[in-house]
Chains A and B, each alone.
Chain A
Amino acid sequence: GAGVSQTPSNKVTEKGKYVELRCDPISGHTALYWYRQSLGQGPEFLIYFQGTGAADDSGLPNDRFFAVRPEGSVSTLKIQRTERGDSAVYLCASSPSGSTDTQYFGPGTRLTVL
């Protein structure tokens, strides 16, 4: 079956612009996660959804970052007023139900803010 997909694969934007990053999880997976990976570092947690609700958004760095999952499947990560420091690879993962399950990762979206 299809894995986790993310679009776009690459996004280049200018400082101050708004961007949206999309994640399509594995069908039937109720848990969805967003992580951010800077060059040479491990991924850092941003937000976790269980179904439609954000169960843990403690990793969002500030209020410029927001994520939604309105129908419990596709999720969109939204970044307002982008800054150069937002440049990173944004990874999405899903798992069947959450705790103790293997998380399956997508290929990521590389965001570059000029």
Chain B
Amino acid sequence: KQEVTQIPAALSVPEGENLVLNCSFTDSAIYNLQWFRQDPGKGLTSLLLIQSSQREQTSGRLNASLDKSSGRSTLYIAASQPGDSATYLCAVEGGQGAQKLVFGQGTRLTINP
């Protein structure tokens, strides 16, 4: 059974810092990995999707990497801003025809002005 773990559970940093969020998964047979953002009381917004054949994806100040063999992904946020404050969720889509996403518990990020 696929399990996804995110470390740390919560992170608070001053504005302007670069930061890294970590995600690990137990079964390397995945189709893709996604990073989502969730604001309080809201749904999920997809930030980046990395296909299993890819190593990384970039969007603006965000960079996500994937090391499938070791079961790890990182989300790098450059020059953090208070508007980046949210919960960040990592999810993997399994192989063998499994379409469902398996999520980690999230990292709650606070950027202090």
Measured CB to CB, the residues of A under 8 A from B are 4, 31, 33, 35, 40-45, 48, 50, 55-56, 58-59, 91, 93, 98-100, 102-108
Contacts and interface: CB of A to CB of B under 8 A. Distances in A.
Counting from the closest, the 4 A-B pairs by CB-CB distance are A42-B103, A45-B100, A105-B44, A105-B43
Contacts of A42: 4, 89, 91, 103-106
A56 B89 contact: no
Contacts of A35: 101, 103
B101 to A, nearest CB: 6
Interface of B: 4, 31-32, 34, 36, 42-46, 49, 51, 89, 91, 93, 97-106
A33 B101 CA distance: 9
Contacts of B100: 33, 45, 48, 56, 58-59
A103 B101 CA distance: 9
B interface secondary structure, majority: strand
Nearest to B104: A42
Given A33-B100, A56-B99, A100 B46 contact: no
Contacts of A93: 44
A45 B103 CA distance: 9
Contacts of B42: 107-108
B10 to A, nearest CB: 10
A98 B32 CA distance: 12
A50 to B, nearest CB: 8
Contacts of B44: 43, 91, 93, 105
19 contacts: A33-B99, A33-B101, A41-B105, A42-B4, A42-B89, A42-B103, A42-B104, A42-B106, A43-B44, A43-B91, A48-B99, A48-B100, A56-B98, A99-B31, A99-B99, A102-B46, A104-B46, A108-B42, A108-B43
